[in-house]
Every structure is written in C-alpha cells, then in structure tokens.
C-alpha cells in the first residue's frame, strides 16, 4: 500500500461517497474499542483495593494514568518511521491516559458534564465535513447560525440586536470584551496601540484568567484591578465607587468593569442593577463621554437567563423545590440589570450540554465588529448579505472551527429556553440530593449552605491527634486528597472530587478552612449519592487508620493547582 493510500480513508471513487462517512464511523468505533480495551487491561492489572473491592469492576472517572517526565519522554521520541496499525491504535489509547471521563458516575470534579448525543453527533459531522467558518463564502450558513445563537442568548438578556462570536473557551469571551472596551474608550488604539492611561476593574471573585487576558491584549496584568467583594460574593458598592473615583483622580481612564455572573465555587454574582447605576453615576459626575464598558462573565451564569422572564408564579411551577428556587431566584434578582450591560460570555461546554469548545461572546449590538478589527475597516449593510460576511476581520483565529456553533444550536433548538431552565432546576435538585446524602451519612459537614450555585463544599472531621502530626490542618487535608487522587489516577472507580484550600465559609475572610468540592452535573438516585459518600468516607477512615499506624511526614509537598 502506498503512503498516500494509507492516509486516505479508505480509497473512494468520489469525495462525497457515502462509504466515507461509514468508514469514519467504523474507524471511530474501532478506535473506541481499542481505547476501552487498553484502559480495562490497565485497570485489571491493578491490585485489588481492600477498602473498595468493586473499584476494578469498571472504568472510573479517569483513564488509568502513568507518571512521566515531559523532557525525558520528548528525548526518547525519535522514531520517524510510519507506525504499524497496532502501534497507531496504541498511540490513540495513550492520548487518553490520565484524561477525565465525564461519562463516569463518579466524575464529580468540576463543571464537566457529559454532552448530549445530539450536539456531539452534530459537532462530529462538522468535523467530518471539514468546513471553515472564517467567512460565509467557505463556511456557508454556519455563520448565520452563529449569529442566531448569539441573538437568542442576547434576547434572553434583553438585547434585541445582539450579535456575537463563537470561540474556543470562556477566556476568549473575556478577551473579546476587554478588547472591545479598549477600542471603545481609545478609538485610535487599534491602529496606534494602547495609551498608557487605561485600566480595567474586575471583581475580587472573578476568574483568575482576567489578568492574563489583560496581559495578552497588551494592557498588562497590572492594569487589571480587583474590587474587594463582600460576604455575598458581590463587589462592595462603596469599594467600586471609591476605586472608580481614585483611578479618575489619578488621571486614569477605566475602560471596563468585568463583572462576575457566576463562578465555579460560591457562584459569585454581581448585582447588575447596582453596578450599572454606579457606572452611570460615575460617568455623569465626571462628565465622561461614555460610562465604562460593562461585561458580565456569565460563562456559567448564562443558564439562569433561561428563567429571567419567569415571574414568581411561573418560577414556583418551573422550580418546584424551595431550596433550588431560593438560590435561583436570588441569582435572577441580581441579573435583572444585565439589559444595560455591553456584553456577556457563554460556555456551552460547561453547563450547556455541549462538547468542547463551544463558547460565545455575546454583545448587545454589532459595534464589536469594528472595535475588534485592525482599525482599517467598518462593517456596513453590505457585509450582511450572504457571500459578503467575513468574521476573520474581528476574530482571533483566521481559519475557524464551526463545531461549537452547530453543537450550541442543536441543543438550543432541541431543548428550547424552557428545556434549559429545566436543566438548571435539575442541577440544583442534584445538589440538594447530594447534600441530603451527606447528611444521612453523618460524617461530613456541608460548608457552603449560602452558595447560590449547585456545587457542594464539605468539611472532613480529621481526628485531633492526626492534626498534630501534620504541619497544619490544610496539609492533612491535602494528604488525604492526594491519596484519593492517586487511586483515581491509577484507574480505580472511586469518586473524583476536589479540594478548596483557603475556602471562606460564607465568603467570610475570618472563617477560612480547607473544604472538599463535589460537583454534581446530573441528578442521580439517592442510592447512587449514598454510594459516592460511602466511598469517600471509607477512604477517609482508611487514610486516618494508616496514618495512625504508620505516622509519616505530611505537607510541604508541592500541590497541583486546585479548582478556582
Ligand atoms: C471557566 C471559566 C472561565 C474560563 O473559561 P474557559 O471556557 O475555561 O476558557 C472564565 N470565567 C469563569 C467564571 C469560568 O467559570
């Protein structure tokens, strides 16, 4: 077989022969069988765990991982010869080693759901067809659907003229927002570069990538100032006012305020009405031509917009559980001012049941098309005729994948606004069930009763004599976490959860402890939740018993970055 024949899939008479798709599907199934077989073989080779004998019965929340050193692996990898079929299959299996399996019932690590079959299949087809969505002359109607997704979510926020950009992740939505704001306040900057008097503000609880976004854009991470937030996870209004005034007094211009619209832990969410009023008043009092650009980082919180139109009676019906409803109602109250914002972010891969990466930057109008350009082009009516629409003038990418566009659209159409509202209520119900399971078991204490999200942070009651063995309570907790992770990394089917060092109970800086984090992404039976809690408890008792029998040094180990 010639090299080119080996690469083609399989020899076809015409490029659109139906067998090609069939061959793709069969090849995918073949790869899947091999990946699963290899993973199961690795799992079967592990010793039985006395504390959980059934933990080898099926794959766990991770494909079995191995420890390695990157530089050593790279030095070893010198074989340029074509790989045999068997070696190739093994390489594909190797790719997934150590990767998370959101399909597992024990995947409770972070906001990583299993995407819907419908959206995944559609995204997969877009991969197979291989269209490029940089402009409609190549990407076709994908570019219209991209705008329809943005318009739909924008409408939920109260923006009838919304348009937007499909992109690879929430971080890009923040970069698009900051860049739009910089161009808006300094219209010469796309051509001449950034002036030195610009800053942006964001909330203390905002995602850690905001500074990096500011840095990548050339603004500088030091030009991103964090506004202290209070116990309710919102920026303190007087702190926001003070910082705006201070920056103004120092001769700096505040280009944007990046607001929290829900975060992974504690669901920090601004009061959008209040932020808007403060920004408007600030601009009026200082006679500014425009108030600072307001972006809502709602890559998680966008899902709540699906219920923003529900009145109290409707909410009672659509979110029957009072605990779920209380949290959701408070978020909705805080989101009421989003209509006056300039843009927001959406991660369909986080809580939209879509595969990676399916993020959207959604803006209230299409000014971003000019603001994100190089300063040499203005969009006009002529651009919005089929055959003329070019996205690459304002996107980071030139060639651009369209999988996220179709995945998002399929779920939006299939579920509808009501379906997403129901999904949100279900996530909160799952959290309640998990909290009930912890309560029933009785060992662990739920710490985040005040959170507006559906995550669960709990505390483990380490014995006082063991706390004395470790340099600190946190080191003991980290030691326990690392053991749980080591087992899951090896491949055992045990709960994969996380740790939150420095967790502030109710956002109180005086009530800091180390919590553990469980992220339920779908409702399960009470029995399933009980089983997960029992597994964690069994590992907890095992950890303590062995530490007592065989005291060893804990702490001072460099630690993987926890979820923030
Ligand atoms: C996840 C997240 C981001 C980053 O989004 P990616 O999709 O991971 O790039 C930004 N902000 C918040 C609040 C997030 O939860």
Statement to judge: residues 374 and 504 lie in one domain:
no
Residues 6+ apart with CB under 8 A from 95: none
Q: How far is the CA of 265 from the centre of ligand 1 (A)?
A: 12
**Among candidate residues 139, 178, 220, the one with its CA nearest the CA of residue 342:** 178
Cα–Cα separations (whole angstroms), residue 166 to 40, 258, 362, 489: 37, 19, 9, 33
Identify whether 193 is part of a domain.
yes
Q: Measured from the CA of 264, which atom of ligand 1 is nearest?
A: 15
Identify whether 337 is part of a domain.
yes
- Residue to substitute in 207, 268, 357, 517 for testing ligand 1 pocket (most ligand atoms within 8 angstroms of CB): 207
The H-assigned helical ranges of 52-186 are: 70-76, 85-95, 117-129, 136-139, 142-157, 170-185
Statement to judge: residues 185 and 293 lie in one domain:
yes
Helix (H/G/I), strand (E/B), else coil: 48? coil
Q: Measured from the CA of 171, which atom of ligand 1 is nearest?
A: 9
Note the pLDDT of residue 507.
76
Residues lining ligand 1, judged by CB closer than 6 Å? Answer: 169-171, 207, 209, 263-264, 297, 299-300, 347, 359
Statement to judge: residues 248 and 166 lie in one domain:
yes
Q: Which residues, given as ranges, of the chain have pLDDT below 70?
A: 1-17, 555-564
Statement to judge: residues 161 and 280 lie in one domain:
yes
**Antiparallel, parallel or unpaired: β 163-167 and 359-363:** antiparallel
Statement to judge: residues 148 and 282 lie in one domain:
yes
Q: According to the 3-state scheme, what is the secondary structure of 499-530?
A: EEEEEEHHHCCCCEEEEEEECCCCCCCHHHHH
Identify whether 561 is part of a domain.
no
CATH number at residue 246: 3.40.640.10
Whether 364 and 180 have beta carbons less than 8 Å apart is answered as no
Whether 199 and 225 have beta carbons less than 8 Å apart is answered as yes
The H-assigned helical ranges of 198-302 are: 209-216, 237-249, 272-285
Domain of 80? Answer: 19-48+64-97
Q: Which of 422, 441, 469 is the last residue of a domain?
A: 422
Read off the pTM: 0.94
CA distance 241 to 356: 38
According to DSSP, residue 100 is labeled B
Crossing angle between the packed helical segments 170-185 and 209-216, to the nearest 10 degrees: 50
Statement to judge: residues 90 and 134 lie in one domain:
no
Statement to judge: residues 92 and 210 lie in one domain:
no
Return the residue whose CA atom lies nearest to atom 4 of ligand 1: 170
Return the residue whose CA atom lies nearest to atom 2 of ligand 1: 170
Statement to judge: residues 238 and 349 lie in one domain:
yes
- If one counts the domains in the chain, the total is 3
Statement to judge: residues 93 and 127 lie in one domain:
no
Whether 458 and 518 have beta carbons less than 8 Å apart is answered as yes
Statement to judge: residues 354 and 247 lie in one domain:
yes
Q: Which of 362, 397, 422 is the last residue of a domain?
A: 422
Identify whether 59 is part of a domain.
no
CA distance 151 to 390: 18
Q: How far is the CA of 179 from the centre of ligand 1 (A)?
A: 17
Identify whether 449 is part of a domain.
no
Q: Measured from the CA of 357, which atom of ligand 1 is nearest?
A: 7
CB atoms within 10 A of CB 81: 6
Identify whether 1 is part of a domain.
no
Q: How far is the CA of 324 from the centre of ligand 1 (A)?
A: 23
Statement to judge: residues 527 and 385 lie in one domain:
no
Identify whether 445 is part of a domain.
no
- Residue to substitute in 169, 258, 266, 407 for testing ligand 1 pocket (most ligand atoms within 8 angstroms of CB): 169
Q: How far is the CA of 4 from the centre of ligand 1 (A)?
A: 41
Identify whether 152 is part of a domain.
yes
Please state whether 523 falls in left (phi above 0), alpha (psi between -120 and 50) or beta. beta
Q: Which of 401, 422, 443 is the last residue of a domain?
A: 422
Statement to judge: residues 523 and 413 lie in one domain:
no
Q: Measured from the CA of 298, which atom of ligand 1 is nearest?
A: 13
CB atoms within 10 A of CB 445: 14
């Amino acid at each position: 077989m010639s090299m080119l024949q080996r690469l083609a899939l399989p020899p076809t008479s015409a490029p659109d022969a139906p067998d090609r798709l069939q061959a793709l599907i069969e090849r995918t199934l073949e790869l899947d069988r091999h990946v699963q077989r290899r993973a199961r073989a690795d799992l079967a080779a592990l010793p039985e765990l006395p504390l959980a004998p059934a933990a080898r019965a099926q794959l766990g929340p991770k494909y079995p991982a191995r420890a390695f050193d990157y530089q050593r692996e790279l030095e070893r990898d010198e074989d340029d010869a074509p790989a045999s079929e068997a070696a190739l299959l093994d390489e594909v299996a190797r790719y997934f080693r150590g990767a998370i399996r959101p399909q597992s019932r024990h995947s409770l690590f972070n906001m990583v759901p299993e995407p819907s079959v419908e959206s995944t299949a559609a995204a997969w087809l877009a991969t197979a067809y291989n269209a490029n969505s940089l402009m409609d002359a190549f990407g076709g109607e994908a570019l219209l659907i991209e705008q329809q997704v943005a318009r739909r979510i924008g409408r939920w926020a109260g923006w009838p003229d919304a348009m937007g950009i499909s992109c690879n992740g929430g971080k890009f939505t923040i970069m698009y927002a900051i860049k739009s704001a910089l161009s808006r306040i300094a219209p010469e900057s796309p051509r001449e570069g950034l002036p030195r008097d610009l800053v942006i503000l964001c909330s203390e609880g905002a995602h850690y990538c905001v500074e990096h976004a500011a840095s990548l854009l050339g603004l500088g991470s030091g030009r991103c100032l964090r506004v202290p937030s209070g116990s309710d996870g919102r920026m303190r209004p007087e702190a926001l006012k003070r910082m705006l005034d201070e920056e103004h007094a120092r001769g700096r211009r505040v280009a944007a305020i990046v607001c929290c619209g829900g975060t992974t832990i504690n669901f920090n969410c601004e009061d959008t009405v209040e932020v808007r009023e403060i920004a408007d008043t600030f601009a009026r009092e200082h006679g500014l031509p425009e108030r600072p650009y307001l972006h809502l980082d709602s890559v998680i919180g966008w899902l709540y917009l699906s219920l923003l139109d529900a009145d109290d009676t409707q909410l009672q019906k659509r979110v029957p559980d009072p605990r779920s409803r209380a949290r959701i109602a408070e978020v909705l109250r805080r989101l009421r001012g989003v209509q006056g914002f300039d843009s927001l972010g959406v991660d369909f891969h986080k809580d939209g049941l879509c595969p990676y990466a399916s993020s959207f930057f959604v803006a209230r109008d299409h000014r971003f098309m000019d603001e994100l350009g190089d300063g040499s082009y203005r969009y006009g009516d002529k651009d919005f005729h089929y055959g003329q629409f070019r996205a690459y003038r304002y996107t980071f990418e030139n060639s651009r994948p369209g999988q996220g566009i179709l995945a998002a659209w399929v779920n939006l159409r299939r579920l509808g606004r009501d379906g997403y509202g129901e999904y949100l209520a279900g996530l909160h119900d799952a959290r309640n069930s998990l909290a009930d399971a912890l309560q029933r078991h009785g060992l662990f204490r739920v710490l985040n009763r005040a959170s507006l999200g559906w995550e669960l942070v709990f505390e483990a009651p380490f014995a006082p004599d063991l706390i004395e063995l470790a340099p600190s309570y946190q080191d003991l907790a980290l030691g326990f976490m690392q053991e749980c992770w080591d087992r899951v990394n090896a491949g055992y089917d045990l709960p994969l959860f996380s740790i939150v060092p420095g967790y502030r109970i109710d956002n109180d800086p005086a009530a800091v402890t180390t919590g553990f984090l469980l992220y339920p992404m779908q409702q399960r039976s009470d029995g399933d939740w009980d089983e997960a809690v029992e597994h964690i408890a069994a590992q907890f008792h095992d950890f303590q018993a062995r530490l007592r029998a065989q005291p060893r040094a804990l702490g001072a180990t460099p630690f993987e970055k926890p979820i923030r």
